[in-house]
Amino acid sequence: MGRTAEDPAFSPQHALELVRSAVPPVHPAGRPFVAAGLGMALLGRNSRWLRRAGLLTAGACAAFFRHPPRVPPTRPGVVVAPADGEICVIDSAAPPAELGMGEAPLPRISIFLSLLDAHVQRAPVSGEVTAVQHRPGRFGSADLAAASTDNERTSLRIRTDTGAEVVAVQIAGLLARRIVCDARVGDKVSIGDTYGLIRFGSRLDTYLPAGATPIVKVGQRALAGETVLAELP
C-alpha cells in the first residue's frame, strides 16, 4: 500500500523529493518563459481560456528548457555527445575558420535537435576552454548540410590534459534565435558539465582530433553527457 499523511514515514519533504526525482529541473535560461506563462495564468484566473493558455505555455516551456540529470562515463579517452538528438552526419570537415585551427579536415559528428529534445549543451570532454567564438549567420533549417557553414554559430574549443583538442559548435536553426554559451576562455570543465543552451530547433557539430574513431552511426539517438561518440587516439 502507498504511504498516507497518517504514515509517520510520510512528510511534505518526502513528497517534494518524489516530485524532484520525477520532474527534471528547468535550465535558468528558461525560467523567465515559465514565469511568463504562470503570470498569464494568474492574470487570467477569471478567464478559463486565458488561464489554460498560460498554464499550457508554462508547461511547454518547462518541458523545452528541461535540464535532466546525466551520468557521464568514467573511463578515460572518450568523447560524449554535447547534446540530445539524432546523429545526422558523420564525416570529415575543416573546423570553423574563426577558431584558427587550419583547413585540414577533422572527423565531425553532427547532432540534430528537434523541438522535443532537451536543448542544454554539455562538455564533450574534460579540459580547459581555449577558445569561444561567436559568428553571426543565417537561420536556415538545422537539418541541412549548409547549416554547419552558413548558420549563426558559437564554437567552443577544449584542450584535454593529454593535449587533444575537441570542438563543439552550437548552430542556430530555423526557429532558433538565441544561442547561450556560459563557458569562457580559461574555464576548466568536466565531461558532461552543462555549458550552454540553444532556444528551439538547432544542431551541434563535434570536431574530433585527427585519428579519433567515431563509434556511433547515423540515425542513432544520442543523450548529452552520456552517449559516447568517439574514442580519442
Helix (H) or strand (E) holding 64, with range, is: helix 48-64
The CA distance from 44 to 151, in Å, is: 39
Q: Which residues are catalytic?
A: 202
Q: What are phi and psi of 171, to 5 degrees?
A: -120, 125
Residue listed under C-alpha cell 577533422: 106
**SS3 sequence of 125-154:** CCEEEEEEEEECCECCCCCCCCHHHHECEE
CA angle 87, 91, 92 (to 5 degrees): 140
Q: Which set of grid coordinates corresponds to residue 143?
A: 537539418
For residue 43, give every residue at least 6 positions away whose Cβ sits within 8 Å of its Cβ, in sequence order, or none.
50, 54
The CA distance from 46 to 132, in Å, is: 48
Q: CA of 119: how far to CAs of 29, 138, 189, in Å?
A: 11, 20, 19
